[in-house]
Structure 1
């Protein structure tokens, strides 16, 4: 079964019901990943995040943006570039892959050598846990020492620890020359 929720609350309800009835859930973004992580090998529910595809806020003053996981990487890069900002992670599939999938794999791309991977640009995540609980993992700051770093734990976990429903990315000023 494929479910296509449109918001975090719907995802929370799906996760709560699946947890209660012990139904496996496989999160899926655009399906461009090559690791097979979005294949439901244990059957159950495929939870698509494609409808969570909005750029919610670009905060030029604080060099941050809040987005949903279904936003296409290249669309996000273009949107922040329009206001003079830069989001470096650029996987080969940037024209079709989603930011949620990039988070699931901590994707990089050619610019990763100079600028780092997706992991290096995540400040905070809104996540639905397997029980259906909705949490934020950190604060929208560069320096935060309030305990375990749940944000970094979730980035690269391929949806095994929770479903990301919102992301706060840090951005850079757009460089005069990109190398």
Structure 2
């Protein structure tokens, strides 16, 4: 399978045929599936072939976001070392770090925090990674985010801050 994908990647790297869109879609599916499953060998095939690492699916997910969310630390490491951008946001504005914090993937979250991203990067609801850490009581991550420069008093659209969330104070959106 790895040889097949390598050959297809090489073939399509120089072509821009309309009927190649289906094959490109299948390759993208293989790429994202490899990230979800942590298939580092397959990811390395894509990386070695010069595949666009920050390509996004219909929800805006990248391979890095999928690997982080699905608890695949080795895949995360390979993608980051190959140049995947940890700051990319999905269509809701969430990053790989936010996904890792949400899922409780602390090792992955720590690795992603080493990336050169704004610690106060916000999703579509105005939430930051620190707010996720506060909400899910990821105390050590919250401390580390603070040391990285995260503003624990920044508020989202509902008036929540990381500090308040860490204390169990949750403000819900006001119905209009």
TM-score, structure 2 as length reference: 0.26
Q: Kindly indicate which of the two structures has a greater share of residues assigned to helix.
A: 2
Which protein has the bigger strand share? 1
Structure with more relative contact order (C-alpha pairs < 8 Å, separation 6 or more): 1
